[in-house]
A and B are shown apart, each in its own frame.
Chain A
Amino acid sequence: MPKGSSNRLSGDDNLKDNRRLRILTLRVMKLSTIIVLAACLQVSASSYSQTVTYTCRNESLVNVFKAIKQQTGYVVFYDQGMVDTLQGVTLNAKEQPLKSFMNEALQDLPLSYTFKDRTIVISKKSVINQLLDRAAQEKPQYIFGRLLDEESQPIENASLTLQPLNLHVVTDAAGSFSFGEVPPGNYTLVITHISFSKLEKKIKVKGETVDLRLVMYKQRVELGAVEVSVASTGYQKINRYTSTGSYTLITAKEIDANPSINLAERLEGKVPGVHFDLANNRIQIRGANNFATGNDRNVSTPLIVIDGFPAIEQNLANYPGSPLGEGAVSPNSRSGIPVSNATILSIFNPADIQSITFLKDAAAASIWGSRAANGVIVIETKKGVKGRTSVTASSTISVSSTPDMSKANMMNSAQYVDFEKELYDKGYFRNDPTTHWRNMNVDDAVLAMYAAKRGDISSAQLDAKLQELSQRNNLGQLRKYLMQQAVTQQYNLSLSGGAGNTSYYISGNYSANSPVFKNNSSKNYSLLANLTNDFFNRRLTITTGLNQVYSDRMVNNAAVTAMSTGNLGLRPYDMLVDEQGKPINRAIDYMPHVIDSLTKLGMIPWTYSPFEELQSSNVYKTTATRLTSQIRANVTEWLHLDLSGMYQRNLVDMSNLQKQNSYVVKSLINTGTSFTNGKPVYGVPLGGIMYTSHTATEDYSLRGQLSIDKQFYEKHQFDMIAGTEIRQSTGSGYSQGHFGFDEDTYNSVSVNPTTPYKTFYGSTATIGAQQSNILVTKARYLSYYGNASYTYDYRYTASGSLRFDDHNLVGVERRNRAKPLWSAGLKWDLKRESFLENVRWVNGLDVRASLGTGGTIPMSATPFAIISLVAPDGITQAEPGAYVGLPANRDLSWETTRTLNFGTDATLFASRLMVTLDIYNKHSYGILSSLPINPTYGWDFLSYNAADMRSHGVEFSVSGDVLRSRDWNWNASFNITYSTNKVTDNRFPNKITSPTGSPVVVTGYPTDNLFVYRWAGLDNQGQSQIYDRNGKVIPSSETTDLTPEDLLYAGRTTAPWFGGFNQNLRWKQFSLGMQLSYYMGYKVLRNDINIANYPTGDQSSGFLSTSKTLVNRWRKPGDEAFTNVPGLMNFNGTSIQRYMMSSVNVIDGDHIRLQMLSLGYTLPTTVLNRIKVMKALSVRASANNLGIIWRKNKEHIDPDYMYSGSYTSWPPVRNYSFNVNVTF
Chain B
Amino acid sequence: MSMLLSKYLPIMNRIIYTSVAALFLFVGAGCRKYVEIDQVGTRTLHYTKDFQALLNYSQVMERTYYYPEMASDEVNIGDTNYQKNMRDLDVKAYTWAPDIFIDANDGDWDGLYKQVYYCNLVTAGVLDSDGGTEAEKKNIYAQALVHRAYAFYTLVNIYAKQYDAATAAGDPGVPVLTVPDFTGSLQRASVKEVYELVKNDLQAALPDLTDVPSYSSTPSRAAVYAILARASLQQGLYADAGKYADSALARQHTLLNLADYADNAAGLPLKLQDPEIIFLKSMTITLPTFPLSDELLALLDKTDLRYTLFTADGANFPGNGFIGRGYYRPRISSQGVYTGPCVPEMMLIKAEAEARAGNIAPALDMLNELRKHRYKPADYTDLRVTDAKAALRQVLNERSRELMGRGFRWFDQKRLNREADLATTVTRNNFRGQSYTLAPNSNRYVFQISNVYIKLNPEITPNPR
Quote the shortest CB–CB distance from A658 to chain B (angstroms): 22
CB under 8 Å from chain B, chain A span 775-812: 775-778, 780-782, 784, 806-808, 810-811
Q: Are B117 and A937 in contact (CB under 8 A)?
A: yes
**Assuming the A-B contacts A643-B20, A808-B36, are A868 and B117 also in contact, with contact meaning beta carbons closer than 8 angstroms in the complex?**
no
Q: Are B114 and A938 in contact (CB under 8 A)?
A: yes
CB under 8 Å from chain A, chain B span 121-135: 121
Q: Are B331 and A763 in contact (CB under 8 A)?
A: yes
| Chain B residues, CB < 8 A from A806 | 31-32, 35
Q: Of B5, B35, B54, B271, which is within 8 A of A867 by CB?
A: B54
Q: Of A763, A775, A881, which is within 8 A of B332 by CB?
A: A763
The reply to whether the CB of A580 lies closer than 8 angstroms to some CB of chain B is: no
**Assuming the A-B contacts A641-B16, A940-B110, are A866 and B43 also in contact, with contact meaning beta carbons closer than 8 angstroms in the complex?**
yes
Q: Are B40 and A776 in contact (CB under 8 A)?
A: yes
The reply to whether the CB of B298 lies closer than 8 angstroms to some CB of chain A is: no
The reply to whether the CB of A140 lies closer than 8 angstroms to some CB of chain B is: no
A808 to chain B: closest residue by CB: B35
* Stretch of B248-256, B315-323, B353-361, B379-387 that contacts chain A: B315-323
* A92 vs B138: C-alpha distance when bound (angstroms): 105
B111 to chain A: closest residue by CB: A935
The reply to whether the CB of A758 lies closer than 8 angstroms to some CB of chain B is: yes
* A724 vs B35: C-alpha distance when bound (angstroms): 14
| Chain A residues, CB < 8 A from B435 | none
Q: Of B8, B58, B217, B320, which is within 8 A of A536 by CB?
A: B8
**Assuming the A-B contacts A763-B331, A808-B36, A936-B175, are A704 and B23 also in contact, with contact meaning beta carbons closer than 8 angstroms in the complex?**
yes
Quote the shortest CB–CB distance from A481 to chain B (angstroms): 31
CB under 8 Å from chain A, chain B span 19-55: 19-20, 23-24, 27-28, 31-32, 34-37, 39-45, 49-50, 52-54
* A706 vs B24: C-alpha distance when bound (angstroms): 11
* A1122 vs B319: C-alpha distance when bound (angstroms): 39
Of A26, A865, A880, chain B has the most CB atoms within 10 Å of the CB of: A865
The reply to whether the CB of B404 lies closer than 8 angstroms to some CB of chain A is: no
Q: Are B270 and A756 in contact (CB under 8 A)?
A: yes
**Assuming the A-B contacts A883-B54, A939-B117, are A878 and B2 also in contact, with contact meaning beta carbons closer than 8 angstroms in the complex?**
no
Of B184, B266, B271, chain A has the most CB atoms within 10 Å of the CB of: B266
Q: Are A726 and B121 in contact (CB under 8 A)?
A: no
Q: Are A641 and B57 in contact (CB under 8 A)?
A: no
Q: Are B316 and A762 in contact (CB under 8 A)?
A: yes
The reply to whether the CB of B265 lies closer than 8 angstroms to some CB of chain A is: yes
Q: Are B57 and A431 in contact (CB under 8 A)?
A: no
| Chain A residues, CB < 8 A from B456 | 932-934
The reply to whether the CB of B436 lies closer than 8 angstroms to some CB of chain A is: no
Q: Of B2, B37, B44, B271, which is within 8 A of A866 by CB?
A: B44
CB under 8 Å from chain A, chain B span 264-298: 265-266, 270-272
| Chain A residues, CB < 8 A from B84 | 430, 1097-1099
Quote the shortest CB–CB distance from A124 to chain B (angstroms): 21
- Give the number of chain A interface residues (Cβ < 8 Å): 87
| Chain B residues, CB < 8 A from A875 | 270, 272, 335
Q: Are A704 and B272 in contact (CB under 8 A)?
A: no
Q: Are B453 and A935 in contact (CB under 8 A)?
A: yes
Interface of B is mostly: helix
Interface residues on B, range: 35 or more
Q: Of B4, B36, B52, B182, which is within 8 A of A23 by CB?
A: B4
A20 to chain B: closest residue by CB: B1
**Assuming the A-B contacts A724-B27, A938-B116, A1097-B84, are A765 and B20 also in contact, with contact meaning beta carbons closer than 8 angstroms in the complex?**
no
Quote the shortest CB–CB distance from A349 to chain B (angstroms): 31
Quote the shortest CB–CB distance from B223 to chain A (angstroms): 15
| Chain A residues, CB < 8 A from B8 | 26, 536
**Assuming the A-B contacts A880-B53, A937-B177, A1099-B81, are A764 and B334 also in contact, with contact meaning beta carbons closer than 8 angstroms in the complex?**
yes
**Assuming the A-B contacts A26-B5, A726-B27, A806-B31, are A882 and B36 also in contact, with contact meaning beta carbons closer than 8 angstroms in the complex?**
no
The reply to whether the CB of B105 lies closer than 8 angstroms to some CB of chain A is: yes
The reply to whether the CB of A888 lies closer than 8 angstroms to some CB of chain B is: yes
Q: Are A536 and B54 in contact (CB under 8 A)?
A: no
The reply to whether the CB of A436 lies closer than 8 angstroms to some CB of chain B is: yes
The reply to whether the CB of B333 lies closer than 8 angstroms to some CB of chain A is: yes
The reply to whether the CB of B186 lies closer than 8 angstroms to some CB of chain A is: yes
**Assuming the A-B contacts A756-B266, A881-B58, are A436 and B44 also in contact, with contact meaning beta carbons closer than 8 angstroms in the complex?**
no
* A217 vs B38: C-alpha distance when bound (angstroms): 59
* Proximity bits, A876-891, B CB within 8 Å = 1, else 0: 1111111111011000
**Assuming the A-B contacts A431-B320, A938-B118, are A882 and B54 also in contact, with contact meaning beta carbons closer than 8 angstroms in the complex?**
yes
Q: Are B85 and A877 in contact (CB under 8 A)?
A: no
Q: Of B27, B40, B118, B460, which is within 8 A of A777 by CB?
A: B40
* Proximity bits, B50-85, A CB within 8 Å = 1, else 0: 101110111110100000000000000000010011
Quote the shortest CB–CB distance from B256 to chain A (angstroms): 16
Q: Are B333 and A763 in contact (CB under 8 A)?
A: yes
* A1098 vs B432: C-alpha distance when bound (angstroms): 11
The reply to whether the CB of B421 lies closer than 8 angstroms to some CB of chain A is: no
* A643 vs B17: C-alpha distance when bound (angstroms): 9
B272 to chain A: closest residue by CB: A878
Q: Are B41 and A881 in contact (CB under 8 A)?
A: no
Q: Are B332 and A764 in contact (CB under 8 A)?
A: yes
The reply to whether the CB of B411 lies closer than 8 angstroms to some CB of chain A is: no
Of B40, B118, B321, B335, chain A has the most CB atoms within 10 Å of the CB of: B40
The reply to whether the CB of B215 lies closer than 8 angstroms to some CB of chain A is: yes
Q: Are B110 and A633 in contact (CB under 8 A)?
A: no
A19 to chain B: closest residue by CB: B2
Quote the shortest CB–CB distance from A122 to chain B (angstroms): 19
| Chain B residues, CB < 8 A from A1099 | 81, 84-85
B184 to chain A: closest residue by CB: A937
Q: Of A641, A643, A764, A872, which is within 8 A of B333 by CB?
A: A764
Quote the shortest CB–CB distance from B17 to chain A (angstroms): 7
CB under 8 Å from chain B, chain A span 1-24: 19-20, 22-23
* A882 vs B13: C-alpha distance when bound (angstroms): 53
* A761 vs B317: C-alpha distance when bound (angstroms): 9
CB under 8 Å from chain B, chain A span 742-781: 756-758, 761-766, 775-778, 780-781
| Chain B residues, CB < 8 A from A870 | 57
CB under 8 Å from chain A, chain B span 76-116: 81, 84-86, 105, 109-110, 113-114, 116
| Chain A residues, CB < 8 A from B28 | 724
**Assuming the A-B contacts A726-B27, A808-B36, are A883 and B12 also in contact, with contact meaning beta carbons closer than 8 angstroms in the complex?**
no
Q: Of B37, B177, B270, which is within 8 A of A780 by CB?
A: B37
The reply to whether the CB of A909 lies closer than 8 angstroms to some CB of chain B is: no
| Chain B residues, CB < 8 A from A764 | 265-266, 332-334
Quote the shortest CB–CB distance from B54 to chain A (angstroms): 5
Quote the shortest CB–CB distance from A978 to chain B (angstroms): 38
B38 to chain A: closest residue by CB: A810
Of A633, A776, A864, A877, chain B has the most CB atoms within 10 Å of the CB of: A877
Q: Of A19, A430, A881, which is within 8 A of B81 by CB?
A: A430
Q: Are A937 and B41 in contact (CB under 8 A)?
A: no
* A882 vs B46: C-alpha distance when bound (angstroms): 12
Of A756, A867, A885, A1099, chain B has the most CB atoms within 10 Å of the CB of: A867
Other contacts beyond A540-B12, A764-B332, A869-B50: 7, CB < 8 A:
A633-B17, A877-B217, A879-B56, A933-B456, A934-B186, A937-B181, A938-B180
A-B pairs with beta carbons under 8 Å apart, 20 shown: A26-B8, A439-B320, A440-B319, A704-B23, A778-B37, A782-B35, A806-B35, A810-B44, A811-B44, A867-B44, A872-B56, A878-B215, A878-B217, A887-B180, A934-B186, A936-B113, A936-B177, A937-B181, A938-B177, A1097-B86
Please report B residues at the A interface, Cβ cutoff 8 Å: 1-2, 4-5, 8-9, 12-13, 16-17, 19-20, 23-24, 27-28, 31-32, 34-37, 39-45, 49-50, 52-54, 56-60, 62, 81, 84-86, 105, 109-110, 113-114, 116-118, 120-121, 175, 177, 180-182, 184, 186, 214-215, 217, 265-266, 270-272, 312, 315-316, 319-321, 328, 331-335, 452-453, 456-457, 460
